């Protein structure tokens, strides 16, 4: 199935960090992009934010000014929803609320032509449920980007029960042309990534709530022992606690309140306090000017140069630790049987 031609117009509804990022991705691929937000001035601010981000690349010698001007010039803020009517595809990236999305998608169905693809950037709401009140749910498909959209390669192309297969294939091919790595997913709670990611956040938040360690220490453990680029508290600060908490609640309810997906009271308090992470200046960490990141609570090494580690029997999955101990300079003695230490 052919991707959408770059001569076609793309519309993005919602000019927050995600919506603006998606607009940038489409504009970089050569599309004219309408950017709409119901908040006065938000669409223009979103385009200005894209320009500011790209200008940094120019300043670092990684992009030409002419290229930046062309990309930004393809993004057109529009004040009325009706102005996106001639778009070939409309991607909604608004608040994660079923009823609000229902209302927007119904309006878009009335405004846009029959061939317009309606795509939702929802991270956890059922695409089947979103399409249930549409007259033509077959043209609704999930197109879930990850934050920051210009940098993250993965895009989940989510088919609801009524989604036409050809529509999903067009979106998949278009995402590929936009330099992304799309994967097909079915409309299950959390799709792929947000289903898998829930324990990453939930277990860490549970450890914090039980007083096992502070956020900086838990982040360091996950980065250094798990080889993740960011720990769970750094990552939720980046995503935004309002977004992360809403997705957790959505997945929790979609799985009939399965305790494995239980939302965190600590994160609930952050949301209620307006401490949403980087975008508000404070989350688990402070992002105000001059603030310093707390150091992890690290136990000093008590190993001497002549320390010997005796390994007795088969360690099973933990046997990979032996090589790490060797790399750390420990003398390893392996014994098979239950003999003397």
Do residues 214 and 204 lie in contact, with contact meaning Cβ atoms separated by under 8 Å? Answer: no
Respond yes or no: is residue 234 known to be catalytic.
no
Return the structure tokens found at 267.
């994160």
- Which whole-number Å values give the CA distances from 108 to 136, 149, 310, in the listed order? 11, 23, 68
Has 253 been annotated as catalytic? no
Cβ 283 vs Cβ 276: under 8 Å: yes
One DSSP character per residue, 306-322 reads T-EEEEES--GGGGHHH
Q: Which residue has the tokens 């992360």?
A: 244
What does residue 13 show for φ and ψ, rounded to 5 degrees? -105, 120
Catalytic residue among 20, 123, 124, 244: 123
Name the residue with tokens 């608040």: 95
Block residue for tokens 């033509």 = 136
Indicate which residue of 92, 96, 109, 156 is catalytic: 156
323 has catalytic annotation:
no
Among 121, 126, 194, 250, which one carries the catalytic annotation?
194
H-type alpha helices, the chain: 17-28, 42-59, 65-73, 98-111, 127-131, 165-177, 193-209, 215-226, 232-239, 241-254, 265-272, 320-327
Catalytic residue among 31, 36, 76, 144: 144
Report whether 178 contacts 240 (CB < 8 A). Answer: no
Query: Annotated catalytic, 123?
Result: yes
List active site positions. Answer: 123, 144, 156, 194
């Amino acid at each position: 199935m052919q991707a959408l031609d770059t001569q076609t117009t793309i519309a993005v509804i919602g000019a927050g960090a995600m919506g603006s990022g998606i607009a940038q991705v489409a504009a970089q691929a050569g599309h004219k992009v309408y950017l709409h937000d119901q908040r006065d001035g938000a669409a223009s601010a979103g385009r200005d934010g894209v320009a500011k981000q790209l200008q940094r690349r120019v300043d670092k010698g990684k992009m030409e000014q002419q290229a930046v001007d062309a990309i930004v010039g393809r993004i057109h803020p529009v004040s009325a929803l009706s102005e996106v009517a001639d778009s070939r595809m409309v991607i909604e990236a608004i608040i994660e609320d079923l009823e609000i999305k229902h209302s927007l998608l119904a309006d878009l169905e009335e405004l846009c032509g029959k061939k317009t693809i309606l795509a939702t950037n929802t991270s956890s709401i059922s695409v089947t449920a979103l399409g249930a009140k549409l007259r033509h749910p077959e043209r609704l498909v999930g197109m879930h980007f990850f934050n920051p959209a210009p940098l993250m390669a993965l895009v989940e192309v989510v088919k609801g029960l009524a989604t036409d297969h050809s529509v999903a294939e067009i979106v998949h091919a278009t995402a590929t042309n936009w330099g992304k790595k799309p994967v097909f997913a079915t409309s299950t709670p959390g799709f792929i990534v947000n289903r898998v990611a829930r324990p990453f956040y939930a277990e860490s938040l549970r450890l914090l709530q039980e007083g096992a360690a502070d956020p900086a220490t838990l982040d360091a453990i996950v980065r250094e022992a798990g080889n993740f680029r960011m720990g769970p508290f750094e990552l939720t600060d980046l995503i935004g606690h309002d977004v992360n908490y809403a997705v957790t609640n959505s997945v929790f309810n979609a799985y009939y309140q399965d305790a494995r997906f239980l939302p965190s009271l600590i994160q609930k308090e952050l949301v209620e306090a307006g401490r949403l992470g980087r975008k508000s200046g404070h989350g688990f960490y402070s992002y105000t000017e001059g603030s310093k990141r707390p150091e992890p609570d690290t136990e000093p090494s008590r190993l001497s140069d002549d320390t010997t580690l005796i390994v007795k029997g088969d360690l099973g999955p933990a046997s990979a630790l032996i090589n790490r101990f060797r790399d750390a300079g420990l003398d390893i003695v392996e014994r098979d049987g239950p003999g003397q230490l």
